[in-house]
Structure 1
Amino acid sequence: MGVAGVAGLLFLLAPSPAVPPSAAHRSADPGWSLLALGGAENPQANAAQQAPRPSVAPEDLWHTLLTEGSLRGAELDGAWGAWDGQRLMPHADLRRRFDQLLTTLGETRPDELRQLVAWLAERDLGAPGAQAVLEVWDRYLKLQQHAFRETMDLNRPERWASVLQERQLVRRDVLGMAWADAFYREEEAALRQRLDRTPENQGAAEPAWTAAAPAGLEPQAWHRERVAALGQEAADRLQAEERAQADWEQRLTTARSTIERLSRAPELSPGQRQEAVQNWLNQHFQGSERLRASALLGL
C-alpha cells in the first residue's frame, strides 16, 4: 500500500480529531465523516472544560451558532431522513447532520445540543418525528463514547481487519442493523477494499460463512459477522439450519444412549428389546427422519 493509501486508512480508523470552529463552516465531505470511527472523544469531557453558564434556549443557541459561532455562514448539513408520521427511515444524511452539530461541542454543552437537535427536528417533523430523531441521536452519542479494545497501529497491518470487525459489531449493537448499515455501509465497503489490497490479504480466502463459529468466537458474535457480510435474511437462514442440525445431533445422541440401555436391559428378551427400540424410535422420529435415524444408528 502506498503512502497515500496508508494515510487514508489511518484517517478512517484513527480517533476523530478535535474539530476547529472553521471546519463547521463547510459542509461535511460526503465520503468520510469527521466522526467516522464511531469512537470520538467523549463530548462530556469537552463540555467539562467550559465555565458554568446558564442554559440557553434552543432557538437562541441556534441563532448564536449561525451568526457568531462556528456555524456562521453555514447551512444545516444533511437531512433528517424520510418521516412517514410513524417511522424514521434510516439514511446516511442524518449522520451528516449529527456530525455537523457535534462539531459545536465546546461552544455548546451536550444537554444544550440535545435540546437543539430536538428543537430543530420538531420544527421540521413535528413532535413524534423529533422523538424518533432523538432516539437515534442518543444511540449515536453512545457509539461516539464507546471505548474500543482494538486500536489502529500502522505497524501491525495484520490487525487492521480486527479493528474493522470490532467497529462493525459495536456499530450494529448500538445503532441496530438498519441504522448502522445506513450510516456506515459505504465507509466500511471502501475500507474493506483497502484492506483487501494490502499484501497480507492478497490471496486471502473469504471466511467460510457456512461453517460453525471459529474457535473463541461466541455464536451470537459469529451471527452478527454473518449479518454484516451476507445480510440479515441469509444469516438468519444459516442460524436456523445450524440450530436444526444441533437439535438433530442431540436427538441422535439421545437415541444411541437409549438403544444401548434397552439392548442391555436384563428383564427383556431379545425380541422385546428389539420391539422396545422400535417403539422408542416411532415415538421420537417421524416420517422420513425415522428412516434416516435408523440408517445412522445402524438399525
Structure 2
Amino acid sequence: MKWAVVAGALALAAGVWWWQSGMPHGESTTASGAADAPSGPGWSVMGGSGDRGDTPATGVAQLTPDQVRQRLLVRGSLQGTEPSGDWCVRDGKTLAPCKGLRDRFEYYILGIGEVSIADIRGLIEDEARREVGERITVSIMDIFDKYWRIRTYDWKNNFIQSDRSTWMPVFEEQRSVRRQILGQPWADAFFQDDEKHFQDYYAQLESGQPPPPHPGEPVPQMDPGKDPAAVRAERVARYGEDAAKRLDEVDAKWADWDRRLVAARGEWERIQGQANLSETQKQDEMQRYVEANFQDKDRLRVRALLKLR
C-alpha cells in the first residue's frame, strides 16, 4: 500500500502520465519490440476497441444505479472508498471547468470490468442528480460523453517509446483532439497539468540531462538510519524539487500513521490486560478508541491490523 502512494507521487515526475492519459494503441514498444506499457486494469490505454468496457456486452441488461452501487461500492473493488474529485459546481448553480470532474469520472470508471461503461454512466448520472440536481447533471453528462469519446478515440499516430521522434506527433494529436471534443476550457482543466509535465519531461530529455529513473526503481527512503538531508538531496537530483516535496508529504503522512498505529497497539495491549473486563467490553472500549483517533479508511485498516471485530 505504501509503495502505491509513493508511485503515485512519482508518476507525473517520471512522465508515466502518458500511459494513463492518452497513449495510442498498438505501437508502444521497447527497442526489443516487446510491449512496454503495463497491461493491468490500472493502466487503461485511451484508444481503440481493446479499451476496457468500450461497449456493454450484447444482450446484457443495464443495471440500475442501486445495483451498480451494490456491485462496486458494497461488494466490489470500490468498497470502503470515497469518491475522488469534485462535481465542479460553483455557487451551487454553475458548472465550471476544473480537473476534479475528470477525477470523479475516473473514480467510477475504475469499476469497468465489474460492470459495463453503460452501467458506470448510469451511476454517475444518478449520483450527480442526487447531489447537484437535474439541470447541472445534464451538463455533467454531456462532458462525460465527450470525455469518454477521448478515452476511446482511435488515435492515428503511434507511440514508440524507443523512438523519441514519435513522441511529439502523438502529443500534438492528443492535445488537438482533446480541445476539438471538449472545447478549450474543459480540455485545459482536464489535461493541462499532464501536458505541462510531459513537455517538461521531453525538454529534459532533449537537453541531454539524465532522465528520471523508471518508476519501478526503489525510491530513496527516509528512515532513522539515513541522513534526511542526504536523502532529500538525492530525491531532488533524481526527480526534481516538486516531486521531492510530494515525497516529503508522503513521508510525513506515513510517519503520522505509524505513530498512531503504535499508539493503538499499546492501547489495545493495555485494554487486554484489564482482567475486570469481559471480551465484549474490551472490544467495545477499543472500538471507541479507534473511532476517536482514526478517520474513514484508516479505521478499517487499524481494525484489520489489530484483529478487532
Give the structure-2-normalised TM-score.
Answer: 0.52
Q: Which amino acid aligns with 2:88?
A: G
Q: Could you say which residue in structure 2 is the equivalent of 1:39? A: 47
Deviation of the 1:61 alpha carbon? 1.6
Q: Could you say which residue in structure 2 is the equivalent of 1:8? A: 16
Q: Could you say which residue in structure 1 is the equivalent of 2:159? A: 152
Q: How does 1:2-151 map to 2 (within 5 A)?
A: 8=16, 11=19, 14=23, 20=41, 38-39=46-47, 41-45=50-54, 47-48=56-57, 52-84=59-91, 87-151=94-158
Q: Which consecutive unaligned segments of at least 5 residues does structure 2 have?
A: 1-11, 25-36, 210-309
Q: Could you say which residue in structure 1 is the equivalent of 2:199? A: 192
Cα distance in 1, alignment partners of residues 170 and 87 from structure 2? 30
Q: Which consecutive unaligned segments of at least 5 residues does structure 1 have?
A: 24-33, 203-299
Task: Give the total of aligned pairs.
Answer: 184
Cα distance in 2, alignment partners of residues 91 and 178 from structure 1? 9
Q: Could you say which residue in structure 2 is the equivalent of 1:173? A: 180
Render the CA deviation track for 1:152-199: whole Å, top value 9, x for unaligned.
112211221111111100000011100100001111001001111223
Q: Could you say which residue in structure 1 is the equivalent of 2:228? A: none
Deviation of the 1:18 alpha carbon? 5.7
Cα distance in 2, alignment partners of residues 201 and 167 from structure 1? 25
Alpha-carbon spacing, 1:166–1:190, altered in 2? closer, same or farther (3 Å): same
Render the CA deviation track for 1:99-157: whole Å, top value 9, x for unaligned.
11112112222222211111000010000111111010000011111111112112211
Kindly indicate whether structure 1 or structure 2 has the higher relative contact order, using CA contacts under 8 Å at least 6 residues apart. 2
| DSSP-derived class of the 1:198 partner | helix
Alpha-carbon spacing, 1:9–1:19, altered in 2? closer, same or farther (3 Å): closer
Cα distance in 2, alignment partners of residues 5 and 183 from structure 1? 18
Deviation of the 1:53 alpha carbon? 4.2
Cα distance in 2, alignment partners of residues 168 and 18 from structure 1? 24
Radius of gyration: which is bigger? 1
Q: Which amino acid aligns with 2:140?
A: V
